[in-house]
A and B are shown apart, each in its own frame.
Chain A
Amino acid sequence: MAIDRATVEHIARLARLALNYEERERLAEQLARILEHASVLDALPLEGVPPTSHVIPITNVLRDDVVQPSLSREEILAQAPSHEAGFFSVPRVLETAAE
């Protein structure tokens, strides 16, 4: 299982990770080795075997629709890297024509 640099770059973009040259090279090699190890799964008789995503036999868990106190907004915003007027603030998302 070979993983090329373009694949590593594509995955890094999906994962919102910036990687430098060495990291890309090393990850391409390491991911290939780990995935090769995973190829032993191909030898197993998996036909008709259902997947397990969760070991406990529950589906939807509902609670009564009753208002409960939530965490303090001030306390949460105090942990934010940047906030303004009661909101989290982030660098601009789009260029604006006015600038």
Chain B
Amino acid sequence: MPPADDTARALRAAYAAGTRRPSEVIEDALSRIVARDGDLHAFLSVDEERARAEAAEWDERYARASGTDDLPALAGVPIAIKDNMCTRGVPTTAGSRILDGWRPPYDATVVTRLRQAGAIILGKTNLDEFAMGSSTENSAFGPTRNPWDRTRVPGGSSGGSAAAVAAGMVPLALGSDTGGSIRLPAGFCGVVGLKPTYGRVSRYGLVAFASSLDQIGPLATDVADCALLLGAIAGHDPADSTSARIPVLDYVAALQEGARGIRIGVPEEASGDGVDAAVAEALRAALDVFAAQGFPVERITLPTIEAALPAYYLIAPAEASSNLARYDGVRYGVRADADDLYEMYTDTRRRGFGPEVKRRIMLGTYALSAGYYEAYYLKAQNVRTLVARDFERAFERVDVVAMPVAPTPAFALGEKADDPLRMYLSDIFTIPVNLAGLPGLALPCGFDRGLPIGMQLVGRPFEEATLLRAAHAYERATAWHRRRPPVAA
């Protein structure tokens, strides 16, 4: 399949025109997974039987429709979803031993919406255990490798989803993002990833990590596919009371409005110490592309941004320690044999959780414990307010904030595995966006020694369309998004 054909939009159009059939595309995708995923390990499970059955149904429905295209937006299009979203009757592990073998009794709302939109869920992708990590090395089922360089990490925690899209195994995937878990792997793998505004997409059926920060979002090979997938999953859901009652736009149509007049702000703090020279250079060049197209570009400041990381590493673990209390061996998942209840709890959790999850549970429990709550947790929440105010002030002058996704391109497997603090620093530019609840989009803006570099665009709450329009304008002026890793060439 030539690269120009591998978007969801192109597949959808080819189905309607009768030049391709969903069954052929699913067979292609399955054979690519066989050929490429032994090495990459993007998938934790693949549901061949169901995918084939659904594809055959869509074959028929397209044949019956013969030209009149009133089938849903993603009819017959393959997609992969991160294995922390519940799929009824299909294993959902969240990358953890503690959920090994569990089959959820219900579908996540995003899964229901994807099915309504006609998408074929091909499989579930690898992640850091409970989405806690920046490299996908914390998966209990082994790491995913970066399709651009197998000695490197794909980023995390949605590393499986980003690698599956980058390696051409699926055109679309869903990830979740608590502190950068969609944007970092999108940046490291050279694909487009969007963390929507908190509340834009229902979290019902997403395995909870930090509930005030978690958000599900799309990964795709280009901006228009990302817009298409966002439209399919966004919207209010009575099952998630934090989902917003704000109308969902036609994000693909919004791209046609163009991007005239969108003002871009560049934070001074985004080119400071610790930012790789190649990353800083790629961002500078990207801003020149915006300026050359007539976008006003100006400098702004986000003075509290450096405090966002330590605040996050109190807030997210605190919420996680509470959310993960449910894994007690009583109602589902794995249980350790023990003579009394207390020992059953502690032994189940000792065996079921990996080192990073234990570390965060301990950190969060400490931050919430008597005598420390005000010194840590409450203070972090005060800082969260300052971070949000920084962005509010910036958005009085500009419409979009542009900065790197991460200070470096993809690092080597094992490089940071023994040093949690260094690992956490990968997320310094993505974490503030979660704390403020804003939408953030990652897209490729260059390469360094064969590794993709990602740019991040951040917008006002519920202004995903503005981000997509700005990203689309950039994409049309550049060719980074057309590059494919050797494995997918």
A52: B residues at CB distance < 8 A: 381-382, 384-385, 388, 435
What residue in chain A is nearest B239 (Cβ atoms)? A63
Task: Answer yes or no: B334 CB below 8 A from chain A CBs.
Answer: yes
Q: Is the interface of B mostly helix, strand, loop or mixed?
A: helix
- Give the shortest distance, in Å, between B331 (CB) and chain A (any CB): 6
**Cross-chain contact of B310 among A40, A55, A79, A88 (Cβ < 8 A):** A40
Contact A91–B344 (Cβ < 8 Å): yes
Contact B358–A19 (Cβ < 8 Å): yes
Contact A81–B333 (Cβ < 8 Å): yes
Given A11-B366, A93-B340, are A51 and B307 neighbors across the interface (CB < 8 Å)? Answer: no
Task: Answer yes or no: A50 CB below 8 A from chain B CBs.
Answer: yes
A54: B residues at CB distance < 8 A: 212, 242
Contact B105–A71 (Cβ < 8 Å): yes
What residue in chain A is nearest B384 (Cβ atoms)? A52
Given A40-B310, A41-B311, A71-B105, are A49 and B385 neighbors across the interface (CB < 8 Å)? Answer: yes
Task: Answer yes or no: A65 CB below 8 A from chain B CBs.
Answer: no
A42: B residues at CB distance < 8 A: 379
Contact A46–B382 (Cβ < 8 Å): yes
Contact B376–A92 (Cβ < 8 Å): no
Among residues 359 to 410 in chain B, which have CB atoms less than 8 Å away from a CB atom of chain A? Answer: 359, 361-363, 365-366, 369, 376, 378-386, 388
- Give the shortest distance, in Å, between B451 (CB) and chain A (any CB): 27
Task: Answer yes or no: B432 CB below 8 A from chain A CBs.
Answer: no
Q: Which of B128-136, B259-267, B271-279, B345-353 contacts A (4 or more CB under 8 A)?
A: B345-353
**Cross-chain contact of B332 among A49, A58, A80 (Cβ < 8 A):** A80
Among residues 4 to 42 in chain A, which have CB atoms less than 8 Å away from a CB atom of chain B? Answer: 7-8, 10-12, 14-19, 23, 27, 30-31, 33-35, 37-38, 40-42
Contact B321–A15 (Cβ < 8 Å): yes
Contact B383–A46 (Cβ < 8 Å): yes
A63: B residues at CB distance < 8 A: 238
In the complex, per-residue mask of A60-87: 1 if CB is within 8 Å of any chain B CB, else 0: 0101000000011001100111100000
Given A17-B346, A17-B361, are A44 and B105 neighbors across the interface (CB < 8 Å)? Answer: no
Task: Answer yes or no: B179 CB below 8 A from chain A CBs.
Answer: no
A35: B residues at CB distance < 8 A: 363, 366, 376
Task: Answer yes or no: A96 CB below 8 A from chain B CBs.
Answer: no
- Give the shortest distance, in Å, between A65 (CB) and chain B (any CB): 13
A97: B residues at CB distance < 8 A: none
**Cross-chain contact of B341 among A8, A10, A55, A92 (Cβ < 8 A):** A92
Contact B350–A18 (Cβ < 8 Å): yes
**Cross-chain contact of B366 among A23, A31, A72, A90 (Cβ < 8 A):** A31
Contact B362–A8 (Cβ < 8 Å): yes
Task: Answer yes or no: B314 CB below 8 A from chain A CBs.
Answer: yes
B15: A residues at CB distance < 8 A: none
**Cross-chain contact of B328 among A8, A16, A31, A33 (Cβ < 8 A):** A16
What residue in chain A is nearest B106 (Cβ atoms)? A71
Contact A15–B362 (Cβ < 8 Å): yes
Task: Answer yes or no: A98 CB below 8 A from chain B CBs.
Answer: no
CA distance A93 to B330 in the complex (A): 13
Q: Which of B198, B304, B328, B349 has the most CB of A within 10 A?
A: B349
What residue in chain B is nearest A83 (Cβ atoms)? B331
A72: B residues at CB distance < 8 A: 105
Contact A56–B244 (Cβ < 8 Å): yes
Contact A51–B244 (Cβ < 8 Å): no
A23: B residues at CB distance < 8 A: 355, 358
Contact B349–A18 (Cβ < 8 Å): yes
Contact A51–B384 (Cβ < 8 Å): yes
A11: B residues at CB distance < 8 A: 362, 365-366, 369
**Cross-chain contact of B346 among A18, A33, A38, A75 (Cβ < 8 A):** A18
Given A17-B349, A44-B383, A56-B437, are A90 and B330 neighbors across the interface (CB < 8 Å)? Answer: yes
Query: What are 19 A-B interface contacts by the 8 Å CB criterion?
Result: A11-B369, A17-B349, A17-B358, A23-B358, A31-B362, A31-B366, A34-B363, A38-B310, A41-B310, A44-B304, A44-B386, A49-B382, A51-B378, A51-B381, A55-B436, A55-B461, A79-B103, A90-B344, A91-B338
The 9 nearest A-B residue pairs measured at CB: A55-B437, A51-B381, A81-B335, A61-B241, A18-B346, A18-B350, A52-B384, A38-B310, A15-B365
